[in-house]
Amino acid sequence: MRDILCISRHSPQSGLLAKEALDTVLAGATFDQSISLLLMDEGVWQACAPLGTELSAFKDLSKNLNVLALYGVDTIYIHANSLKARGLNAHELSSGNTTLLDQADTQALMRDHQHIFSF
């Protein structure tokens, strides 16, 4: 069983939660925890590149997400139904190394981790 699953369910522009989830994953990976990131509900927008962030107080998280592989986090899990509900396709995601999960896979992912951090 892996150590920590960070479930990130908020949009990158709604506040600091999305960034905090990513920072938690980076911190965990830095300290050798087996840690995973699951984007769900409004969180799936984090993997889509914005048209521009000059007008925003928040950075382009989709660029940040690409760094995970260098931290030893090989894939970003995406809740497939959340994508579908928003009319998004996997090929519209700008972050690489994503794994789409259906309902059963998502439940299994949760069971496969010791702890969940909810963002």
Least separation in angstroms between CB 105 and other proteins: 11
Instruction: Count Cβ neighbours within 10 Å for each residue of 46-59 and write b for 16 or more, e otherwise.
Output: bbbebeebeeeeee
Task: Look at the block and give the residue holding tokens 């994953």.
Answer: 25
CB 102, min distance to other proteins, A: 11
The least distance separating other proteins from the CB of residue 27, rounded to whole angstroms, comes to: 4
| Residues found near other proteins in the complex (CB under 8 A) | 7, 9, 23, 26-27, 30-31, 40-41, 59-60, 63-64, 66-67, 70-72, 81, 103, 106-107, 110-111, 113-116, 118
